[in-house]
Amino acid sequence: MAVRRAIVRPPGSNFAEGLTSANLGVPDVARALEQHARYCEALEACGVALTRLPADGDHPDATFVEDAAVLRREHAILTRPGAPSRAGEVAAIDAALAPYFSTRSRIEEPGTLDGGDVCEAGDRFLIGISARTNEAGARQLAALLRRDGVDSTLVDIRNTDGLLHLKSGISWLGDGRFAVNRALAAHPALRGLDMVRVEDGEAYAANCIRVNDHVLVASGFPRFEKMLRERGYDPLPVAVSEFEKMDGGLSCLSLRF
Ligand code: CIR
């Protein structure tokens, strides 16, 4: 589906105080801002208009806007993030989406859900059950989507090493195809999918985003870029090292519709 607009929010001065399990050191906020600016330019180069929210000084993880909502056509589903420190991010995203989405629903207690666990794949969704998204949250989302005529597959990644979110390991490339890293390639719920397998050593590259005629990919993963090119995609590398330090990736930095 064509992407016309994206919501983005730069990291704040408190960015390094966010949640992380990566052992990659403390992010450099100035460099993160620079990378974020280049990321925004890359989206614009793909034909996307941006809604730019101001940095959120109260929520260090608020630059990862994807986690606060799931979007499907004219329906926005506001999430209930699994990390308590992120609960306060949702209100601003709700307000930013309001002009564009006539129907807005919410994940309700006891459900928790992070948008990073939700992979829209053409006419269906994959919903990860993770340390952040619980089964109640995943089932609520599946039920809301079902009302819109969309089926979902739940993918339990709680025993899958190294993945914060489902989309840390799998991305929709369009055309019936996914980019998948080794951690997820053998997952029983994903059997039969057409996969571009991200090689070991490049696992982080599995979080990429198809945006119109391009695929935004994290820079520094030449083998993955080559694989995409060989399959006819047009990869657009973007540096996101400072976001990787905070467990984030390309998809988390925008809400696209
Ligand atoms: C967090 O732990 O919630 C943030 N530091 C990173 C969130 C990344 N979001 C995503 O993958 N969708």
pLDDT over 90 (residue 47) = yes
pLDDT over 90 (residue 17) = yes
Q: Which residues belong to the active site?
A: 165, 252
- Residue 172 pLDDT: 98
> Does residue 66's CB lie within 6 angstroms of at least one atom of ligand 1?
yes
Compute the CA torsion angle 222, 223, 225, 229 (nearest 10 deg): 130
Reported as a single tens digit per residue, the pLDDT across 112-155 is 999 999 999 999 999 999 999 999 999 999 999 999 999 999 99
pLDDT over 90 (residue 98) = yes
For residue 208, report the distance from its CA to the centre of ligand 1, in Å. Answer: 14
Kindly state the average pLDDT of the residues 59-88.
98
Q: How far is CA 55 from CA 11, 31, 199, in A?
A: 6, 15, 35
Give the residue among 53, 99, 108, 60 at the shortest CA–CA distance from 76: 99
Mean pLDDT for the chain overall: 97
Compute the CA torsion angle 154, 155, 156, 159 (nearest 10 deg): 180
> Does residue 165's CB lie within 6 angstroms of at least one atom of ligand 1?
yes
Please tell me the residue having the least CA distance from ligand 1 atom 12.
Answer: 116
% of the chain at pLDDT higher than 90: 98
User: Among 3.10.129.10, 1.10.645.10, 3.75.10.10, 1.20.1290.10, what is the CATH number of 5-256?
Assistant: 3.75.10.10
3-state secondary structure of 44: helix
For the chain, which residues make up each domain, given as ranges? 5-256
pTM, full prediction: 0.97
Q: Are 196 and 225 in contact (CB under 8 A)?
A: no
> Does residue 247's CB lie within 6 angstroms of at least one atom of ligand 1?
yes
pLDDT band, very low/low/confident/very high, at 161 (cuts 50, 70, 90): confident
Question: Strand 5-8 and strand 255-256: pairing?
Answer: antiparallel
